[in-house]
Structure 1
Amino acid sequence: MLFDFLWFGSQTAMGGSAPDDDDDEIPEPAAVADARSRGKIYIADLPADIEPARRLLQRYSGIPARDVDKHIQDISQREKLWAIHPSVSVGHYRFLSMQFTSDPRYKDALNRLLVADSDVAFLDVGCCVGQVLRQLAFDGVDSSRLYGMDSESRFLRVGYELFRDRDTLKATLVAGDVLASGEKDEGEDASRLLNGKMTIIHVMSFFHLFSWQAQVRAAMRMINFLKPDDADVMIFGRHVGTTDPPDVEGRQGRQRYLHNAETWQDLWDHVGELTGTRWRTEVEFIDKAGIEMGGADGTVRRMRFGVYKA
């Protein structure tokens, strides 16, 4: 079901100079057409790593193999997303990336969700078209345990069209902004639906888009979503990190803070002080290929992380 009473607009203005889902600012409008024409943020052909998405659309959505590529490229899918959000993640089909399945924490989350009669609940923050939720459902998870949240409600609607499961998916999809306070008109309904109910939160390509202060706000909000008395809650995902943490000036005037293992723990120590909680983190740098984050090039790395109660 889609809860569509929240509307904040997309606060994660993403910006992309490189063909990667981790650096995803929207370029200035005047640059979009030029960047698209040069293939910088928009490619005509499907990427080489699309095969896992093809399999999901065949096996989960029931789309015949001969029709999958046409379905992915259909104007009702990517062009709708592009009209909403002309960025690298859309132009390079990163909204169908299945790389999250290689994260050992995904496998842990899946195993916990598959336990019969448990009350484990999973939230994907910034879920876009909901590919993570559909993969979990295909892997055997009762989709009524799944929740998705994105600041752009139209992404959620396109997800139903893409995966053809409007009548079968039981997940709760919420249009709302994790950076909102959760009070009155700033996320009150999302708080009512999510606060204190989640066991596992997944968040990908999100934290690196924001300043330290905004990351603190987002982390505090996520803590509110977690079950307060569950010692086994977990937040995990991936973002861009760095071997030399700086403040990086975003193209649209924001400061973005990139982390290494030490500063990531510092962030959660600070959040713990503010919320009366304690957290421990795990970090693995994955690779550094194809990432440009203005001013930090050469030091940036993809970074997988886990956050657990200490």
Structure 2
Amino acid sequence: MSSQQDIPEYSEPPYTRSEPVDRAKFPFYQPNINKKLVPETRQLLEKYSHVPPEKQSQHVHKIASIPFQAPCKPQRIPVYPEILKRVQAGELLLDVGCFLGHDLRRLAYDGAPSTNLYGLDIANHWNVGFELFRDQSHFGAHFIEADILSESDSALLALKGKVDIVSALQVIHQWDWEGQVKAAKVLATFTKPGSLVVGNSIGNSKAQEVTLKSIGVPMYRQNPESFEKLWIQVGNETGTKWETQAWLRSFEEMSFDPKDHAWMEDGVAMLEFSVRRTE
């Protein structure tokens, strides 16, 4: 595990930031994203955005000058029915690393009032989301452009202790152990007893720190056991208590092509999680 002093103040590694980069040098970049239009995404585009099936590929490629790499799949998380029911009842959900807001659209499509939804991202692609989903006139989710580790952003400060569900899909895995603890402690500040922190990350059957040559940034790969230990540490350091559930899924189960992870280490998988604050 890396030392605490090695953690950058900026919350994201260079390859995820909005500055101009040569995306083609990164192994996860794919210029043709047709295979990302999985059935759930196609359904959302057709039924919610009213994009005919035969025009979806052209529509997405035209708009996605930034990579549209993630399928709309928040509903895969086992506690999704509870999440949807709670937001429908008036509770607040914060999507950390919301990107275009595609997961928030899935919730809205399933019946969640969009005004109960908040999206947070370090870069602002919100208007691209409106173009993609054709819903600017009726999608009322709130967008906050900020660094999740910011201690001074007024919009973030206003949500401290008030969020019922924090969604962190494809976010936590980008740091080493100490960075993940720091990020999880920040996520915990938005919660109250009864809140959920849910999401998924790239994990591994063997918990370990890896530094991939193609990226050069140390990342800690969690498995269910190590992820539970992480939240025990978070609880001990914040005076809170958490019940942790986590599941390892194959990339194929998550509708990713096997080639999507061929450049990663052996044992790599997707870690889905649901962490409930009990105190």
Aligned equivalents of 1:276 and 1:130: distance in 2? 32
Deviates more, 1:62-71 or 1:129-138: 62-71
Alignment check: 8 A CA contact 1:114 1:140 kept: yes
Long gaps (5+) in structure 1: 1-7, 16-24, 82-89
Equivalents in 2 of 1:206, 1:138: separation in Å?
A: 23
Q: Secondary structure at the match of 1:303?
A: strand
Query: 1:110 Cα shift?
Result: 0.8
Pairing of 1:279-294 with structure 2 (within 5 A): 279-287=242-250, 290=258, 291-292=261-262, 294=264
- The TM-score, its normalising length taken from structure 2, stands at 0.83
Using a 3 Å threshold, how does the CA distance of structure 1 residues 280 and 65 change in structure 2: closer, same or farther? same
Alignment partner, residue 246 of structure 1: 208
Alpha-carbon separation, structure 2, partners of 1:198 and 1:53: 27
8 Å CA contact retained: 1:281, 1:307: yes
Residue 283 and residue 293 in structure 1: after superposition, are their counterparts in 2 closer, same or farther (change >3 A)?
A: farther
Pair 44,144 (structure 1): closer, same or farther in 2 beyond 3 Å: same
Instruction: Call closer, same or farther: CA 1:298–1:250 in 2, change over 3 Å.
Output: closer
The residue that corresponds to 2:35 in the other structure is 47
- 8 Å Cα contact 1:14-1:209 kept in structure 2: no
How many angstroms apart in 2 are the aligned matches of 1:211 and 1:34? 23
Alignment of 1:138-287 (within 5 A): 138-153=109-124, 155-180=125-150, 182-183=151-152, 188-226=153-191, 228=192, 231-251=193-213, 252-287=215-250
1:280 deviates by: 1.7
Q: Distance in 1 between matches of 2:116 and 2:196?
A: 15
Measured on the aligned residues, the alpha-carbon RMSD in Å equals 2.7
Deviation at 1:14, TM superposition (A): 4.2
Judge conservation of contact 2:130–2:136 (CA < 8 Å) in 1. yes
SS in 2 for 1:194: coil
Report the TM-score when normalising by structure 1. 0.75
Q: Is the 8 A contact 1:293 1:300 kept in 2?
A: no
Q: Is the 8 A contact 1:284 1:303 kept in 2?
A: yes
Alignment of 1:95-134 (within 5 A): 95=70, 97-115=71-89, 118=90, 120-134=91-105
- Shift in Å, 1:142: 0.9
Q: Which residue identity lines up with residue 259 of structure 1 in the other structure?
A: Q
- Aligned equivalents of 1:235, 1:172: Cα separation in 2: 19
Query: Separation in 1 of the partners of 2:33 and 2:228?
Result: 40
Aligned ranges 1:1-80 → 2 under 5 Å: 11-14=12-15, 32-33=23-24, 41-44=29-32, 46-47=34-35, 49-74=37-62, 77-79=63-65
Matched, 1:135 2:106: yes
**Structure 2 unmatched ranges of 5 or more:** 1-8, 253-257
Determine if contact 1:35/1:42 at 8 Å carries over to the other structure.
no
Q: What amino acid sits opposite 2:173 in the alignment?
A: H
Contact 2:173 2:203 in 1 (8 A): yes
Matching of residues 77-92 of structure 1 within 5 Å: 77-79=63-65, 81=66, 90=67
Q: What is the CA–CA distance in structure 1 between the aligned matches of 2:224 and 2:39, rounded to whole Å?
A: 32
Return the alpha-carbon distance in structure 2 between the equivalents of residues 52 and 111 of structure 1. 20
Report the residue type matching 1:243 in the other structure: S
Q: 1:98 offset after TM fit, Å?
A: 2.2
Identity %: 27
- How many angstroms apart in 2 are the aligned matches of 1:145 and 1:279? 24
Name which of 260, 266, 277 aligns with 1:298.
Answer: 266
Aligned partner of 2:64: which letter? R
Tell me what 1:84 maps to. Answer: none
Contact 2:209/2:221 (CA < 8 Å) preserved in 1? yes
Distance in 2 (CA, whole Å) between partners of 1:165 and 1:254 is 37
Measured in 1, the distance between the counterparts of 2:11 and 2:207 equals: 26
Instruction: Sort the Cα spacing of 1:293 and 1:261 in 2 relative to 1 into closer, same or farther, 3 A.
Output: farther
Deviations 1:183-226 (A, max 9, x none): 3xxxx223233212210011111111101111112111111111
Secondary structure of the corresponding residue to residue 109 of structure 1: helix
How far 1:51 sits from its partner (Å)? Answer: 3.0
In the alignment, the residues of structure 2 paired with residue 268 and residue 165 of structure 1 have an alpha-carbon distance, to the nearest angstrom, of 37
Kindly state the Cα deviation for residue 29 of structure 1 after the two structures are TM-superposed.
5.2
Aligned residue for 1:190, secondary structure, equals helix
